[in-house]
Structure 1
Amino acid sequence: MNYLPDTIDPQDVVTTIGLISDTHMPQRWPRLPTAVSQIFADVQMIFHAGDVGELWVLDELSRIAPVVAVHGNDETEDATRELPYQQLVTVAGQRLLIWHSHYANRVDEMHARRGGDLREGLLRNIARAKSAGARLIHFGHWHLPLVFEHDGIVAVNAGAIASGNPYQQQTIQTVALLFVLRDGRCHITHVNLAEPERPYTPQTDIEAGFAGNLAVYGRSILAPDLHFLRKADLSEIYRTDRGAFLSVWLPLAHRVWAGEKPHVELAELLTVVKTADIKEGTRQKIITVLKSESELSN
């Protein structure tokens, strides 16, 4: 499959690099989609921009080509421990920077999320690349495919494989190909995993902010009778026992992500909680929270 435009001679390509991010495997996606192997078939390297999940994801990618990866903010303990915060790679005389783009300090990260301004975040990426003398920066975290250029530096987000949280679905899964050219320029092609035979044009609107773009690439998997979970921000359930709740929730969510059903409903969630292998005290607390929040939302 040819992902280069007609204006670029394939002979002018020095290196092709596969760009991927936010796989979150296996918590939010069970395995590497076969389309990734097809799209990356001719790459010489793969850059993973974080939120990998379990480290076997990188092992699988390395069957295609050598992998350089960084950790994200929503990782397994192993990935956070073994992978760096950022990584500088030099290819054909060009410095390329990889990072997830989250703030290392969680307080700073949560403060940055309040604004929802894409341009501000993109300029932060450009500044990060500039400080490293990099021509291009590949980042993740946003789950939004895009290319942004400023001051001669290119910021690219490959998009995502899995959703940004357990209560959403990534409706358009994308990766990207980075073509490094002999003259020092770079060309980026995004590819939608649902249509791997052709390039994909990102629909991200930088001026629309996060809120205006998330609906393009994701959707809630909560049925109407569970929408109160977003209002409560899950805080009460998480304080009860986040691990126990996710062990109940994720099997239901995976059925939605696999396309077996459109939503997770309150009735089925309560049914599973009542029979789940969790501590009895935790079970009763979760049931109480679900019922009380549901009543308050009606």
Structure 2
Amino acid sequence: MNNYLPATIDPTDVVTTIGLISDTHMPQRWATMPTAVSQIFANVDLIFHAGDVGELWVLDELSRLVPVIAVHGNDDSEDAQRELPYQQVVMVAGQRLLIWHSHYANRVDELHSRRSGSLCEGLLRSIARAKSAGARLVHFGHWHLPLVFEKDGIVVVNAGAIASGNPFQAQAIQSVALLFLLKDGRCHITHVNLADPERPYAPQTDIDAGFAKNFEIYGRSILAPDLEFLPKVDLSEIYQTDRGAFLDVWLPLAHRVWAGEKPHVTLDELLAAVKTADIKEETRKRLTAVFKAGLSL
């Protein structure tokens, strides 16, 4: 654990160490817990999960290390949304800590909030949430961007993510974080890149740059050039009637890319998957028509 602390902090001054993780989206967007997570969290006292857990077995697995406190996210399984709270305040080492995903509970409000593309607005919202709860630190998820921000004596931290923010991308840098609470009331946060788990990682998130610019670092398209139209295709009608059918077709293709077996998904692969998928014939025809029509976009 000492290799995650700067030389300026005496390890004996650490009162509690908490593992921070978020946006695992398992197993829909990532199959299993990366082995590096258990390595990084080997000596923590608690784990905080800031939502978009996926299935609840994810928390069961993490709890084999130490107890886990978690909240649900906006893109969670039905079980996770039912059983996990929207927000959790935890008292540790005399300090009040707040965990939330940071999404808007109302879907319309959530979509409206994304129009500005500003990180600052969302960070100030977490600051306000902390003040309301009397918390001095907020651990949030949702953004898939590792960062630390401080204002008015309140620290806001995002651990980054394990899985991608949508099914058409990969999380280019998977990360977690360690929160060290010190005897004098201060804290230290260390991010760790799962690809290089032996040393601290310095987040590259530029708070002033906005979401789009930061996603160039932390998000990567898994679409081949002949499928770049896909995010522009209106799938709303299919989602309303048979979202499961689309995901049944798409996710096996995406998982091969996420697992590093291939660089991207091609149009031919997608059409072939639609052709052989175990879905209703009417849905098969509609999906094929939609994807072929997308070529003209």
Question: Structure 2-normalised TM-score?
Answer: 0.98
**C-alpha deviations, 1:205-261, integer Å up to 9, x for none?**
001000110110111111111111122254354345221011010000000001111
Q: Which amino acid aligns with 2:80?
A: A
For residue 180 of structure 1, what is the aligned residue in structure 2? 181
For residue 18 of structure 1, what is the aligned residue in structure 2? 19
For residue 229 of structure 2, what is the aligned residue in structure 1? 228
The reply on whether 1:53 has 2:54 as its aligned counterpart is yes
Q: Which amino acid aligns with 1:291?
A: K
Q: Secondary structure at the match of 1:125?
A: helix
Q: Secondary structure at the match of 2:257?
A: helix
The reply on whether 1:217 has 2:214 as its aligned counterpart is no
Q: Secondary structure at the match of 2:198?
A: coil
Task: Tell me the distance in 2 between the aligned counterparts of 1:227 and 1:237.
Answer: 19
RMSD: 0.9
* Mapping 1:241-280, distance limit 5 Å: 241-280=242-281
8 Å Cα contact 1:22/1:50 also seen in 2: yes
Q: Which amino acid aligns with 1:229?
A: L
- Structure 2 gaps, min length 5: none
For residue 153 of structure 2, what is the aligned residue in structure 1? 152
Task: Tell me the distance in 1 between the aligned counterparts of 2:174 and 2:238.
Answer: 29
Task: Tell me the distance in 1 between the aligned counterparts of 2:236 and 2:115.
Answer: 18
For residue 199 of structure 2, what is the aligned residue in structure 1? 198
**C-alpha deviations, 1:131-178, integer Å up to 9, x for none?**
100010000000000000000000000000000011100010000000
Task: Tell me the distance in 2 between the aligned counterparts of 1:166 and 1:238.
Answer: 14
Task: Tell me the distance in 1 between the aligned counterparts of 2:89 and 2:13.
Answer: 23
8 Å Cα contact 2:233/2:290 also seen in 1: no
Question: Structure 1-normalised TM-score?
Answer: 0.98
Q: Secondary structure at the match of 2:155?
A: strand
Task: Tell me the distance in 2 between the aligned counterparts of 1:233 and 1:131.
Answer: 40
Q: Which amino acid aligns with 2:146?
A: P
Choose 146-155 or 220-229, whichever is displaced more: 220-229
* Mapping 1:31-50, distance limit 5 Å: 31-50=32-51
Task: Tell me the distance in 1 between the aligned counterparts of 2:235 and 2:144.
Answer: 21
Q: Which runs of 4+ in 1 moved over 3 A?
A: 233-237
Task: Tell me the distance in 2 between the aligned counterparts of 1:237 and 1:278.
Answer: 13
Q: Secondary structure at the match of 1:208?
A: coil
Q: Which amino acid aligns with 1:218?
A: G
Task: Tell me the distance in 2 between the aligned counterparts of 1:270 and 1:242.
Answer: 17
Q: Which amino acid aligns with 1:18?
A: G
Q: Which amino acid aligns with 1:135?
A: R
Q: Aligned residues, how many?
A: 296
Shift of 1:293: 1.4
Percent sequence identity is 80
**C-alpha deviations, 1:25-82, integer Å up to 9, x for none?**
0000001000000000000000000000000000000011100000000010000000
For residue 165 of structure 1, what is the aligned residue in structure 2? 166
8 Å Cα contact 1:71/1:80 also seen in 2: yes
Task: Tell me the distance in 2 between the aligned counterparts of 1:72 and 1:113.
Answer: 16
Task: Tell me the distance in 2 between the aligned counterparts of 1:39 and 1:233.
Answer: 41
Choose 34-43 or 230-239, whichever is displaced more: 230-239
- Structure 1 gaps, min length 5: none
